[in-house]
Structure 1
Amino acid sequence: MPRVSSLPSLPAPPPLLPGHLRVIALGGLGEIGRNMTVFEYRGRLLIVDCGVLFPEEHQPGIDLILPDWSGIRDRLDDVVAVVLTHGHEDHIGALPFLLAERGDIPIVGSRLTLSFVTAKLTEHRITPAVAEVEAGGHSTLGPFDVEFFAVNHSIPDGVAVAVRTDAGLVLHTGDFKMDQFPLDRRITDLRGFARLGEEGVDLLLIDSTNADVPGFTTSERELAPAIEAVFRTTPGRVIVSSFASHVHRIQQVLDAAHAQGRKAAFVGRSMVRNMGLALDLGYLTVPDGLLVTLPELDRLPAEKITLICTGSQGEPMAALSRMAAGNHAIEVGDGDTVLLASSLIPGNENAIYRVINDLTARGASVVHKGNAKVHVSGHASAGELVYCYNIIRPAHVMPVHGESRHLHANADLAVSTGIPADHVLIAGNGTVIDLFDGAAAVTGAIPVDLVYVDANTVGGATEDSLAERRLLGEEGVLTVIVIVDADTGELTEAPDFIGRGFVHDERTFEPLVPLITAAFARNGARRTPMAPEKMERLLVQEVGKWARRAHRRQPLIVPVIIDA
């Protein structure tokens, strides 16, 4: 029997029946980012995670992409809490925008997660209502009984979330893997997962990011030799770029720097902030005297210097990208080694390789995942997912956190362990799944769009405006100015042209003059001259046909009609 899939043709869901639990993903399905899941029960809403998606090159000018919570906007007063699984941006980054609409929503999470969130919200002048929880603990949030389980990930203090109601038991793993030798010795709570399995998990929402990767994810500890080799063999400075939240990786870097007698400094606002919080809370262990300020570092010889900065994804304004472009106070050159201690997020490939090329051209050696074992994923591979299926034995599975290929690969793994194919629900953003008496089914879908953040504007940019930006960047713009006799509808003088993005001279647009003149002469022959908006469409049509034929271009055409 085929698996149940989310289809664009799904109807709007019916009203939620009494005693039923509704689950809706508002982001994070079919993409890696903007994770947000809503649970509805007895008229109240519980949100798990509220993250952002970072734009790709085909989304020019966009800063962030948010989940679309327009479907619950008129019910924000019904939200009992936002529960956070961990402190990565794709799970917490949209909180300032949600709290701008209702500022008193309780935020529930672990200690480190809440410290990152509070610092972020402070920058937005928001003081959140927070409730700290620990793995192994319970919280009663409205009609939801929520239990938290330790999971291992690429950031400390991650939790899986079990949601209990009379309608059934749902387990949301969040992002996780099963590293048996984590640096903080905090392993994924498989005993807790097994206990839930004995209780009966009716619906399992499970991380799919590495579902198409065979075997088990490599342990963080196995990176130590490659990182130590970089510090041992580099004659100049070591410049490490990592996510500003990757406490475990930064710990390994600091340990290697200390072993080689180097000093270290953090570069970049988010790196300084997050590592300061991790140090204050005891998640980062730093030997006395290892960390120094940048001015102190400048007085040391190159072989004693370690810089730890942001920019591992090629972000144009991050420290590493500015170093690569020569726009930073820190100049990278011969003898330096740049260590990219992070994954390559899909969509960032071109930006990352551009940074690597620019750094190499400046004389630096660049060590990255492609040429050394300096990064491991924070997500469970296929072997770990199968292991979880076998100990949890869920009645239904909904793969989450992944692109379409990841979701389908995860679904195949679930079926291979004996879960009935029609109990594996491949959902999309907006798909509605209702659970009652242990049975889960897709009951419809709500509209969900990409919500773009463009500078200080939220939701103003649309697919049409992005298409226009791409057109401007790739095809150029041509402004055509015509003066029209209001009585006859014909031109009173030759049109004028202003082109940008064309290779042209003063004669380039001459062939357009008779074409436009003839078109407006035909307009003048009409008994009733065209309305101005129809004249604009006529002008765009004639110029567009010429540009495609003569230049194989489709510029953005800006018609300017002046009434003589």
Structure 2
Amino acid sequence: MTNPVIDPPALPAATLRVTPLGGLGEVGRNMTSFEYEGKILIVDCGVLFPEEHQPGVDLILPDIQPIRDRMSDVVGLVLTHGHEDHIGGVPYLLRTRQDIPLVGSGLTIALTEAKLKEHRIKANTRVVKEGEKMSFGPFDLEFVAVNHSIPDALAVAIRTPAGMVLATGDFKMDQLPLDGRITDLRAFARLGEEGVDLFLVDSTNAEVPGFTPTERSIGPALDQAIGASKRRVIVASFSSHVHRVQQVLDAAAKHGRRVALLGRSMVRNMTIAEDLGYLHVPDNVLIEYKKAKDLPDDKIVYMSTGSQGEPMAVLSRMANLDHAIEPGEGDTVILASSLIPGNENAVYRVIDGLTKLGATVVHKGNAKVHVSGHAAAGELLYCYNILKPRNVMPIHGEYRHLVANAKLAQDTGIPAERTIIGENGTVVDLKDGDATVVGQLDLGFIYVDGSSVGGVTEADLKDRRILGEEGFVSIIVVVDAKTGQIISGPDIHARGVAEDDTVFDDIKPKIVAALADAASNGVRDTHALSQIVRRTIGRWVNQRLRRRPMIVPLVIEA
């Protein structure tokens, strides 16, 4: 369901305006703006990864059009944690204004700075810890420890004279986390006693009943899979999943194997995590990839990227035999991640490819090698009962996740009229404890395509899909500028349409006849003649070949 576009009114005095710019109705590109008395605070700025119907696109950014011309009013950007869907868009945002203060935990800021360095951006960063408070303009911030599938995640309480908002970021309530850092429910309870006027809460696992299993429960399954393998082990995970890499390092050390990290982002992120003390590497376990090739097959574990089937990631290239490491009989491949919605087909293709090569593929569907980083329904119910928020707006999830989360809030006694199921661009005003939808902005996708940002349109993607699915036909005709008679051609060339260009021999006389008729009627404009050629061959290809290729006619005067 898409809400109709409604322009919001001017922001009233003493009112906090909350506008999600990404992350609602999708899993990715999380970003929310908060405006009070002319000043703007942003929480998160992530990316969404493209699906198959978006060929050639590298990344998808939040649509910052509502604040693009107001970057001078932005007082800060809070980053809840270091995953790409929360920090990946930061370099592109800072292109509009480089000195925006970036606020986050130690690991989050370190990962963001490494990303910014690749874009040659020197940022104004500030590291905070749980329990700390700071102010940016009219926004008084307090940071709260939350547990997620990456260390150092933070929720943020945003206080203004209009009320207090608590934004969780991504979180769960793992009671036995590997790093011992649990979600601070005592702080949640204290904030609840103070009064949370609007609760922005992670929805990704709202449909999942019960509680998300602990990270420690994964250790035995990884240990068993690595211990049982007779040859090489390849583990694919997100490049920022420090906890999962820690478990692989520990299991490898136990079984006398060494670990080589594959993929530029994996090496970069784990180096940062080790330097900051978030990753503890057992002695003599890590080995450089180039040296790892000299080890016996039963003494090595490769830790790679590509758990989501990304075409250019290490694991996909292995499955396509486009990598120096070619999986084979007796090898074990472990996919230690959940499926992000939209990636299912790509992942299953990789699994099939690896299986055909003889590898044993262990994944969440057949072994307990991954747990989610998001709170399930039971954990969300706990939050609602502890916080007793006056208003709730589920965020971070596809539409069904938002609806399920809103239903949980209502089950705990929060009135339906105080649970807002929004979408990107839904404008919510908070004042005197009341949250009201006052507008709906028309936001779209901002595509990153190579060095182009925002240059690719939906029309361009449609053309790419046509090229990929239906093929391409070009027709060149040279006509006399005075008489309109054909001097040369038509020459027809096709790609992806038919096995041989001779199939078009039947249409050439019809093109000649159509142009002759146009010439007899005094048509000399080459654009008009091109359109005649396009229509003539288009009808024929559709009827004869049952195809709708991209047709590019070129009529040249001589």
With the shorter chain as reference, the TM-score category is over 0.9
One of 368, 373, 377 as aligned partner of 1:373: 368
1:162-181 aligned within 5 A: 162-181=157-176
Q: Deviations over 1:100-153 (max 9, x none)?
A: 221111100001101111111111111111111111111101110011111110
One of 465, 473, 477 as aligned partner of 1:478: 473
Give, in whole Å, the separation in 1 of the partners of 2:487 and 2:242: 70
Q: Which residue of 2 aligns with 1:533?
A: 527
1:144-543 aligned within 5 A: 144-489=139-484, 491-492=486-487, 494-526=489-521, 528-529=522-523, 531-543=525-537
Q: Which residue of 1 aligns with 2:26?
A: 31
Partner secondary structure for residue 399 of structure 1: strand
Q: Does 1:558 align with 2:552?
A: yes
Q: Deviations over 1:280-331 (max 9, x none)?
A: 1111112221222234433332212111111111122222222222222223
Amino acid in the other structure paired with 1:541: R
Shift of 1:455: 0.5
Q: Does 1:80 align with 2:83?
A: no
Give, in whole Å, the separation in 2 of the partners of 1:371 and 1:165: 49
Question: 1:6, 1:427 within 8 Å by CA — same for their partners in 2?
Answer: no
Range moving further from structure 2, 165-174 or 288-297: 288-297
Q: Deviations over 1:356-411 (max 9, x none)?
A: 22222222111111111101110011111111111111111111111111111111
Identity of aligned residues (%): 60
Give, in whole Å, the separation in 2 of the partners of 1:30 and 1:203: 19
Amino acid in the other structure paired with 1:48: V
Amino acid in the other structure paired with 2:242: V
Shift of 1:88: 0.1
Amino acid in the other structure paired with 1:164: R
Shift of 1:547: 1.1
Amino acid in the other structure paired with 1:85: T
Give, in whole Å, the separation in 1 of the partners of 2:403 and 2:46: 23
Q: Deviations over 1:512-537 (max 9, x none)?
A: 223323333442343x5263333332
Give, in whole Å, the separation in 2 of the partners of 1:515 and 1:142: 71
Amino acid in the other structure paired with 2:20: A
Q: Which residue of 1 aligns with 2:543?
A: 549
Q: Deviations over 1:416-447 (max 9, x none)?
A: 22111111111111111111111111111223
Question: 1:490, 1:523 within 8 Å by CA — same for their partners in 2?
Answer: no
Structure 1 495/172 Cα, relative in aligned 2: closer, same or farther at 3 Å?
same
Question: 1:71, 1:447 within 8 Å by CA — same for their partners in 2?
Answer: no
Question: 2:20, 2:425 within 8 Å by CA — same for their partners in 1?
Answer: yes
Range moving further from structure 2, 329-338 or 84-93: 329-338
Could you tell me which runs of 5 or more consecutive residues in structure 1 were left unpaired when the two chains were aligned: none
Structure 1 385/530 Cα, relative in aligned 2: closer, same or farther at 3 Å?
farther
Structure 1 211/509 Cα, relative in aligned 2: closer, same or farther at 3 Å?
same
Could you tell me which runs of 5 or more consecutive residues in structure 2 were left unpaired when the two chains were aligned: none
Q: Deviations over 1:457-516 (max 9, x none)?
A: 111111101110111111000111223344454545552211111224353112222332
TM-score, structure 2 as length reference: 0.97
Give, in whole Å, the separation in 1 of the partners of 2:352 and 2:31: 36
Give, in whole Å, the separation in 2 of the partners of 1:500 and 1:71: 42
Give, in whole Å, the separation in 2 of the partners of 1:335 and 1:36: 44
Give, in whole Å, the separation in 1 of the partners of 2:241 and 2:225: 19
Range moving further from structure 2, 35-44 or 317-326: 317-326
Q: Deviations over 1:135-180 (max 9, x none)?
A: 1111101110011111110000001111110011111110011111
One of 86, 89, 98 as aligned partner of 2:84: 89
Amino acid in the other structure paired with 1:558: V
Question: 1:206, 1:400 within 8 Å by CA — same for their partners in 2?
Answer: yes
Shift of 1:562: 1.1
1:46-65 aligned within 5 A: 46-65=41-60
Partner secondary structure for residue 509 of structure 1: helix
Q: Which residue of 2 aligns with 1:117?
A: 112
Q: Which residue of 1 aligns with 2:123?
A: 128
Question: 1:238, 1:306 within 8 Å by CA — same for their partners in 2?
Answer: yes
Q: Which runs of 4+ in 1 moved over 6 A?
A: none
Shift of 1:27: 0.7
Give, in whole Å, the separation in 2 of the partners of 1:67 and 1:295: 39
Amino acid in the other structure paired with 1:100: R
Give, in whole Å, the separation in 2 of the partners of 1:451 and 1:314: 23
TM-score, structure 1 as length reference: 0.96
Amino acid in the other structure paired with 1:299: D
Question: 1:6, 1:431 within 8 Å by CA — same for their partners in 2?
Answer: no
Give, in whole Å, the separation in 2 of the partners of 1:96 and 1:261: 41
Shift of 1:270: 1.0
